[in-house]
Amino acid sequence: MKAKITAASMAISQFILAASVRAQSNPNPLPQPHSSDLGPILQNVINWILGIAGLLAVLMLVIGGIRYVISAGNPSQTEGAKKTIIYSLVGIVVIILAVVLVNTVIGLFH
């Protein structure tokens, strides 16, 4: 029984190794982009900026939640905290839409 299990595992491992070797060969490699190609650089910069904006929006959401919890029922502080939460949620939605739009537009021209 052990011999059959060993033989089966060796056969499977040989198949996996052979498949990984075939997957590494590429008869038609794509040309490498030039270092002066502005598209990917611009996409990375925009994605970083939108990522930072997303982090700030999430931080503002947390701050709004903390303000709401510590408002102790004060109507003006509660209202300000609610506005902070709503504006940060709107900001998160706008940032997500901006990421999708930027990546779509750059993908069309790439």
The model's pLDDT over 77-93, given as tens digits with 9 standing for 90+, comes to 999 999 999 999 999 99
- The answer to whether the CB of 68 falls within 8 A of the CB of 82 is yes
Domain presence at residue 8: no
Domain presence at residue 75: yes
Domain presence at residue 18: no
pTM over 0.75: no
Domain presence at residue 62: yes
The model's pLDDT over 9-29, given as tens digits with 9 standing for 90+, comes to 565 555 555 544 555 556 666
Domain presence at residue 56: yes
Tally the domains of the chain.
1
Distance in angstroms (rounded) separating the CA atoms of residues 45 and 51: 10
Residue ranges making up the domain that contains 72: 37-109
Domain presence at residue 71: yes
